[in-house]
Amino acid sequence: MLRKSLIALAVAGVTFGATSGQAKDMKEIRFGIISTESTLNLQKIWNPFLKRLGEKLGRPIKGLYASDYAGVIEAMRFKKVELAWFGNKSAIVAVDRSGGEVFAQTVDAEGNPGYWSLLVTHKDSKLNSMKEALACKTCTFCNGDPNSTSGFAVPGYYVFALNAVEPRKHFKRVTNASHEANLLSAVTKKCDFATNNTENTRRFKETFPERAKLVKVIWKSPLIPSDPLVWRKDLPAETKAAIKAAILGFGKTGPKAAEEKKILAALQWAPFRPSSNAQLAPIRRLELFKAKLKVERKAKGRDMTGDEKKKIEAINAALKKLEAGNSN
């Protein structure tokens, strides 16, 4: 995955040589955007936002559209982006491995407090529920990007871990792709069912209105916190202050607030709200519970080995830390 991400970034003209100094010395700010759908579709809705944000900050904002989530994570790690839009799971990796820090959170345009992971299939499919999908061992399954919250982490826990199912061993064939690619595979019957989320299915109605009519939802997850915006923790304080003011004021203050609201509406968002790494705690907890279930199931019917006991102890300690309110 890492090798593929580096190659993709190189093709896009992003190289991993020496960095060009601190952000305060840069003539532009680089903004990473995770690959939920095709780059062309993302550019249509993101470029107006980046242009206006650049005007507010007094310098150009350059969008980085990598071929997968790992590409944006690695770009932040190698200081090739100053800030990025992530899902919660990919944000965890960016915080833990790439020196990232959550500073803002998106807000759903419809007023929802978050969004939901889905399992989808073709409307004529024989599958009508998660239970039926799990029972179909001859089915093909389109899973999400491994760093996706709604496309991988959430269904990985609620659908598969809680039901003791390992997709690659259980189904006839399993692939990994973006939300848009998975929806297209489901409605063209290239796979029997796929992961997705409520935000992307809404986007799908705009980009592929006729094909969107063929989508059938067979499972909906518990609520997922809205997506975070993450900056590099090592940015100068004055740069952070300027970025935060511009982001949190977008669509709220200034003579172009109404225009900015329309730009956000194209992204299916309302104005942002402040956030922190604490918003990642629910997904961290979910990942820990999934890991704990895996160890416990492996040891079912016998005494745990020393290594297994240590793993459980480490997981319990991490869970206790989260409950105490420390999300880092």
The alpha carbon dihedral of 73, 77, 78, 80 has a sign of: positive
pLDDT digits (tens, 9 = 90+) for 135-152: 999 999 999 999 999 999
Residue boundaries of the structural domains of the chain: 2-111+226-275, 114-224, 281-323
Per-residue pLDDT, averaged over 199-213, amounts to 95
pLDDT given for residue 11 in this prediction: 37
Per-residue pLDDT, averaged over 52-62, amounts to 96
8 A C-beta contact, residue 167 and residue 141: yes
Per-residue pLDDT, averaged over 252-272, amounts to 96
Per-residue pLDDT, averaged over 311-316, amounts to 92
Q: CATH classification of 114-224 is 3.40.190.10, yes or no?
A: yes
Q: What is the DSSP string of 272-285?
A: EEE--GGGGHHHHH
- Give the number of residues written for the chain: 328
8 A C-beta contact, residue 40 and residue 46: no
In eight-state DSSP terms, residue 124 is T
pLDDT digits (tens, 9 = 90+) for 31-41: 999 999 999 99
**Is the pLDDT confidence value at 16 over 60?**
no
Where does the pLDDT of residue 186 fall: very low under 50, low under 70, confident under 90, or very high at 90 and above? Answer: very high
Q: How many CB atoms lie within 10 A of CB 72?
A: 31
Per-residue pLDDT, averaged over 215-231, amounts to 96
39-57 and 257-266 helices, crossing angle to 10°: 160
Per-residue pLDDT, averaged over 10-15, amounts to 39
Amino acid at 59: R
Q: How many CB atoms lie within 10 A of CB 328?
A: 13
Q: Of 57-66, 204-213, 303-312, give the lowest mean pLDDT range.
A: 303-312
Strands (DSSP E) contained in 20-139 are 29-33, 61-65, 83-85, 100-108, 114-122
Where does the pLDDT of residue 107 fall: very low under 50, low under 70, confident under 90, or very high at 90 and above? Answer: very high
**Tokens 């061993």, residue located:** 169
pLDDT digits (tens, 9 = 90+) for 279-297: 999 999 999 998 998 898 8
pLDDT given for residue 6 in this prediction: 39
Angle ∠(182,187,193) on CA atoms, nearest 5: 60
183 phi and psi, to 5 degrees? -65, -45
- CATH number of this structure's domain 2-111+226-275: 3.40.190.10
**Is the pLDDT confidence value at 78 over 70?**
yes
Q: Of 15-29, 67-81, 192-206, 309-323, give the lowest mean pLDDT range.
A: 15-29
pLDDT given for residue 113 in this prediction: 78
pLDDT given for residue 301 in this prediction: 84
Where does the pLDDT of residue 87 fall: very low under 50, low under 70, confident under 90, or very high at 90 and above? Answer: very high
pLDDT given for residue 25 in this prediction: 55
Burial environment of residue 187 by CB neighbours within 10 A (0 to 12, 13 to 18, 19 or more): buried
112 phi and psi, to 5 degrees? -70, 145
**Is the pLDDT confidence value at 52 over 90?**
yes
Give the chain's mean pLDDT. 90
Q: Same topology for domains 2-111+226-275 and 114-224, yes or no?
A: yes
pLDDT given for residue 326 in this prediction: 57
**Is the pLDDT confidence value at 237 over 80?**
yes
**Is the pLDDT confidence value at 118 over 70?**
yes
pLDDT given for residue 298 in this prediction: 87
- In 3D, which of 116, 278, 141 has the Cα closest to residue 197? 116
pTM: 0.83
Cα end-to-end span (Å), the chain: 25
**What sections of 88-129 are H helices per DSSP?**
88-97
**Is the pLDDT confidence value at 234 over 70?**
yes
Percent of the chain with pLDDT over 90: 81
pLDDT given for residue 21 in this prediction: 36
Give the helix/strand (H/E) hosting 221.
strand 215-225
- In 3D, which of 105, 325, 54 has the Cα closest to residue 226? 105
**Is the pLDDT confidence value at 12 over 60?**
no
